[in-house]
Structure 1
Amino acid sequence: MAEITPAGSGEAPRPSAPAPDGMLRIRGGVGGLSFQFEELLAGAAALDVVVRRLYALEAEADGVRRALFGYQPDSYRSGSNAMIAVGEAGRDVSRVRAELEHIAAQVRASHREYEFTEARNALLLRMGLGGPEYGSAQGPFELPGVRDQVERGVALAPHGLALLLGLPVPLAALVGTLAGPTDVRRTVRELTMAPGLRFLEPRPVTVIGSHTGAEAVDLTPAGLLRRAEAVGRNSGDIEIIKVDGGSGRAWVVIVPGTQLGGLPEGTNPFDTAGIAEALGYDSVETTAAIRQALREAGATAGEQLAAVGYSQGGIHAMNLSDDKAFLAEFDLKYVLTAGSPVGGITPEPGIGSLHLEHQHDWVPGADGQANADTKDRVTVTLTNSLVMPPPQDFGLGPGHRLENYAAGAEAVSASRDPSLLASTAALAAVVGGGGTATVTRFSLRREALPARGAVTAPGPNRGADTPPPARPPAPALGPTAAREPQGVPG
C-alpha cells in the first residue's frame, strides 16, 4: 500500500505512487494518488472541526480562570493553584490547537503543490516537452511502452502536424498548446462524413435470435474475459448471464472484440464500423440492442448488472456507464475491460471499473487519453514479457491477445494490493461467487447498407440535412471464423 510521509518527520504529508505488484502496475482506486489526496483533504477538513472545538475550549478555560479571580481571597493558596492549573490547561489546549492548524496547513500546501505540478506537466506534455520527469509511469531509464507512445502520439497530433508543416518548434509548441489534446470522438465523426467512408456511420442494430441454457460459469475477472473470447467466435453475438448476485438476482453483459468476416458485409455490429460507432457515437445503436437483449433475457428495471468487454467490446461496455437512458433503466455497477481505449469515457458516479492494458499493446492508447485516476476506477498495466507469434498470427500484436489479458486478470485476483482487493470485491458484490447460471446468447445484426442508387430517409441518429450512407457494394466475404482483424483497432 502506498504510504504517506510519517508523522513527526518534519515534512508535509506526501502521497506516494503504489509500488508495482509483480507484472502489474496499478493506478487509481483506493491506493491511487487522487484518492490519497481526497483522503488527506478530508482529514484536513476533520482537523478544522477539531480546531474550532479547541478554540471554544480555550475560551471556556479562560472564562473559568477569570471566574476564579473572585474566589482567590477566600483561600489564596488553593485559589491560586486552581487558577494556575486552569491556565496551564488552556495553554496546553492552545498548543495542541496550533499544532493541528499547522498540520492542516501542510496538508493543503501539499495538495496545492500536487495540483500545480499536474497542471505544469499537462501543459508541458501539450507543448510536446514530454518525458519520464513529466508524469510518465516509467522510471528515468525505462523507455515508454507501445501503449504510452501511441497514446502520446495521438494526443499530440496537432503539435506533430504543425511540425510537419514546417513551423518553428516554439510556434509548433504554441499551436499544440492552444489546440489541446486530439479530440478523437470529433475526428471519428468527421471521418464518417468523408466521401467513401459513409459506411462507417451508425445504423440501427437489432436482436434477431437467441439461445438459452444453464451452465457452470466462472465469474472471476479471468473467467469473464475468457467467456468474451468464446462469444467472439460467433459473429455478431453477445452474451447475457443471469446470476444469483451478492444482493439478489443480477446480470452480466459480455461484449466481444472486433470481428471480420462471417456475415454479409456491414451487418456485423462488431466490424470496423462498430469501432467508429463506439469511439465516435457513444455506441448509441449497440446500447439500444443491449437494452433490448436484457429485456428479452428477463431483466427488469432497477436490477444490478456488470458489463465486460474485450477490445472494441470494452468501449461498448464502458459507454453503458455514461448512457443516461441505459442507466435510468438498469443499475450498472461495474465494468471490466481488456485492451480497450476508454480513457475518454467518464462513468457516472458510483460505477466501479477495472481496465487491463498491456504496456506493449497499442490499442488502449488509440484514443490518446489515459484513464482517470479515481477511487472507483482502477487501471492495471501488464508488464510481463511477450512471445512473438508467427507473422500469420501477429494480428494486432502479442500484447493484444485476450489470453494474455486473462492471465493478467488471474494475477489481479491473486494480488493483495488494496486497490485491486477493493475493485474485485466490488465485482463479486454484484455477480456473486459463480456456479450454475442461466446463459443466453443473442445474435445482433446491423441494418444493411442501402443498394447503390437507393434513396433512404435519414436514420434516427443522422441529421435531416445529412445524405444517407451509400457506397458501391464490395465483393461478399466468405464465411470465416470471427477473429481480431489484421491492422484494425480492437
Structure 2
Amino acid sequence: MDGGLEIRGGIGGITCQLEELVGGAEKLDALAEELVDVEAELQRIQNGLGPYQFSQTPAWTEAVSTMTRSRTGVQVVRTELQAIGSQVLASKRYYENAEAWAGIARGLGGGLTSTETMMRQAGDLGLGFVPNREVTELVAGPLAMAALLAVSRERFFIALGVDLAAGRHIAAAVPLLTGVLGRSTRNLQPRPVTVDQKESLPIEFDGSPAALLERARIIGQRGEGYVEVIEVDNAGQKAYVVVIPGTQAGGDLGGANPFDEAGITEGLGHRSVEVNAAVLEALRAAGAEKGAPVVAVGYSQGGIHAMNLAADELFLNDYDVKYVLTAGSPVGGIVPAAGVSSLHLEHRQDWVPGTDGTPNPDARQRVTVTLTGPVTTPGGGEFGIGPGHRLSNYTGGARLVAESDDPSLVASTAVLAGVLGAGGTATATRFALARTPAETASAPGPRLQPTQRPLPQKPEADRQVTSGKMQG
C-alpha cells in the first residue's frame, strides 16, 4: 500500500522477491564450487609434502597438521554454504506452493465468501450499485467455466488443464470461452480493418502516465474508430506512442466501428488480430521505421488491444514494444513478450478489469495499481457503467503513480521515461479505422486509404472534439 494505491508486482512484488532468492542461492552455490577447488588445491599441496616426511620430521608434521586443519575448515564452510543454498530454494518452493494453493482456494469460492470481501463489496455498493473489481473477478471465472462446459466439454477440460498447468485459478478459461462465443455469431467474428489517415498536428507532450491517458480521452472524443500515433523525439531517436480508445457503444454491434462491443470479443477471444494489423499499417503510414520503440496505451477495451500488440509476434517483428499502459482493462490473461514493461491501473469500484476472471500476474516487469479511494458519479453526470470506470479517475490515479516513491512504481515509470524522454513538442497523427462489411470479410487485411491533405494546424491546447459516443 502507498496511500490510496495498492501495488502488485514489479521489483517490490512477490515474484521478484522469489527471483532474488533464487539468485542468492545460485551465488551461494557458486561460492561453494570455488571452495571445492580450494579444497582440491590444499589436498594437492599436502600430497606434495610426502617426500619430506623423513628429512624434516618436526616441520613436516606442523605443515601437514596446518594443511589438514585448513582443508577441514574450508570443507565446513562449503558444507554450510550448500546447506543455506538448499534452504533458500526450499523456502522459495514453500512460498510458491502457498501462493498457488491460496489462489486456487480463492478462485473456488473461498475469496467470494470471506467476510472481508463481502464488507468491501457492501461499502462499494453504497457508492454505486455495481459489483466491484474483486467480486467480479471471483464470479466471472466459475461462470465462464460453467458456460464453457455447457458449450463444449472438450474445451472445458482443455481450459482447465491449461489453467492448472499455468498455476492460475480456473477463471483463465474466459479467453477460450469468448473465442467460442465469437465464432458462433457472424457479427462477432474478426474482419479486416481499413486504415484511413486523417490529420497530423503538433502537440505539447510530457510522456507521463497521466499525459498518455489524456491522449486516450482526446482520441476517444475525436470520433468513432479513431486511433492516434504520436511521434516523439527522444535525444535524436524517434519513439512512437499508439493510443487506443475504450469501447464506443451505441452503434450496430459488429458494424464498421472496430471499437464497439464486438471489439471486446476480438480482443479477448481472438488476440486483436485485425486491430493489431491495422495499428501496424498506421505506424508505417506515420513514418515509423522498422524496429522503432513503441509505447502502447489503452483505456478499457483499448487496453486489451494495447496488451495484445505486446504479445503479437507479427507486430513485434516490425516494432519494438517497450511499454504498455492500460486503465480499467481486463488483461490478466494476456502475456506480453519478454522484455516488455507494463503498468495497469485498476479501481477497486471498477468491475470491468475483473471481467476476465483472473488477476494480473505478479511479475518483475508488470505492475498493477489498484486505486482504493472512494468515488461517486459527479452531480449531473451519467452513471454509465459505474463511477469507478471513469477515465478521469484513472488520469488522477496516474498522477499519484508519478508522485509515488514506491520502488516498483519508480522503476516502472523510469522505463517509460527512458523510452519517451522528457517530453516537448511531438507530432500526433490520427487514423480512422473501419471494419469491412460482413459480406466482404474474405477480402485481404487492412488497406491504407489515400492520405488526406491535412489543413494547417496550430499547436493543440487539447481541443475537445465532441463527436462520437464514449462508454469506456
State TM-score, norm by structure 1: 0.79
Which of the two has greater helix per residue? 2
- Trace 1:418-457 onto structure 2 (pairs within 5 A): 418-450=407-439
Per-residue deviation, 1:396: 1.7
- Trace 1:45-444 onto structure 2 (pairs within 5 A): 45-71=26-52, 73-130=54-111, 143=120, 146-157=132-143, 180-181=170-171, 183-194=173-184, 197-235=185-223, 236-245=225-234, 248-261=237-250, 266-390=255-379, 393-444=382-433
Q: Distance in 2 between matches of 1:212 and 1:301?
A: 21
Question: How large is the Cα RMSD of the aligned pairs?
Answer: 3.1
Q: Assess, with a 3 A threshold, how the Cα gap between structure 1 residues 367 and 263 changes in structure 2: closer, same or farther.
A: closer
Q: 2:112 touches 2:138 (CA, 8 Å); kept in 1? A: no
Q: Distance in 1 between matches of 2:45 and 2:336?
A: 55
Counterpart of 1:40? 21
SS of 2:110's equivalent?
A: coil
State TM-score, norm by structure 2: 0.82
SS of 1:298's equivalent?
A: coil
Q: Assess, with a 3 A threshold, how the Cα gap between structure 1 residues 356 and 343 changes in structure 2: closer, same or farther.
A: same
Q: 1:396 touches 1:484 (CA, 8 Å); kept in 2? A: no
Q: Percent identity of the aligned residues? A: 46
Q: Distance in 2 between matches of 1:380 and 1:246?
A: 30
Q: Distance in 1 between matches of 2:422 and 2:107?
A: 45
Q: Distance in 1 between matches of 2:379 and 2:37?
A: 75
Q: Could you tell me which runs of 5 or more consecutive residues in structure 1 were left unpaired when the two chains were aligned.
A: 1-19, 165-173, 451-455, 462-478
Q: 2:112 touches 2:118 (CA, 8 Å); kept in 1? A: no
Per-residue deviation, 1:193: 4.2
Q: Distance in 2 between matches of 1:80 and 1:357?
A: 73
Q: 1:261 touches 1:481 (CA, 8 Å); kept in 2? A: no
- String of CA shifts for 1:238-297, please: whole Å, max 9, x gaps: 111111136711111111111135899822221112222212221111111111111111
Q: Assess, with a 3 A threshold, how the Cα gap between structure 1 residues 401 and 120 changes in structure 2: closer, same or farther.
A: same
Per-residue deviation, 1:131: 6.1
Per-residue deviation, 1:385: 2.0
Q: Distance in 2 between matches of 1:352 and 1:385?
A: 28
Q: 2:145 touches 2:174 (CA, 8 Å); kept in 1? A: no
Q: 2:111 touches 2:117 (CA, 8 Å); kept in 1? A: no
Q: Distance in 2 between matches of 1:280 and 1:37?
A: 32
**Worse-matched range after superposition: 103-112 or 246-255:** 246-255
Q: Distance in 1 between matches of 2:262 and 2:279?
A: 17
Q: 2:247 touches 2:301 (CA, 8 Å); kept in 1? A: yes
**Worse-matched range after superposition: 263-272 or 326-335:** 263-272
Per-residue deviation, 1:91: 2.3
- Aligned partner of 1:434: which letter? G
- Aligned partner of 1:258: which letter? T
Q: 1:338 touches 1:355 (CA, 8 Å); kept in 2? A: yes
- Aligned partner of 2:468: which letter? A
Q: Distance in 1 between matches of 2:182 and 2:354?
A: 21
Q: Distance in 2 between matches of 1:431 and 1:38?
A: 29
Q: Assess, with a 3 A threshold, how the Cα gap between structure 1 residues 59 and 387 changes in structure 2: closer, same or farther.
A: same
Q: Distance in 2 between matches of 1:147 and 1:56?
A: 56
- Aligned partner of 1:100: which letter? L
- Aligned partner of 2:374: which letter? S
- Aligned partner of 2:198: which letter? S
Per-residue deviation, 1:397: 1.1
Per-residue deviation, 1:431: 1.2
Q: Assess, with a 3 A threshold, how the Cα gap between structure 1 residues 391 and 438 changes in structure 2: closer, same or farther.
A: closer
Q: 2:307 touches 2:331 (CA, 8 Å); kept in 1? A: yes
Per-residue deviation, 1:80: 3.4
Q: Distance in 1 between matches of 2:180 and 2:253?
A: 26
**Worse-matched range after superposition: 409-418 or 79-88:** 79-88
Q: 2:323 touches 2:416 (CA, 8 Å); kept in 1? A: yes
Q: Assess, with a 3 A threshold, how the Cα gap between structure 1 residues 131 and 448 changes in structure 2: closer, same or farther.
A: closer
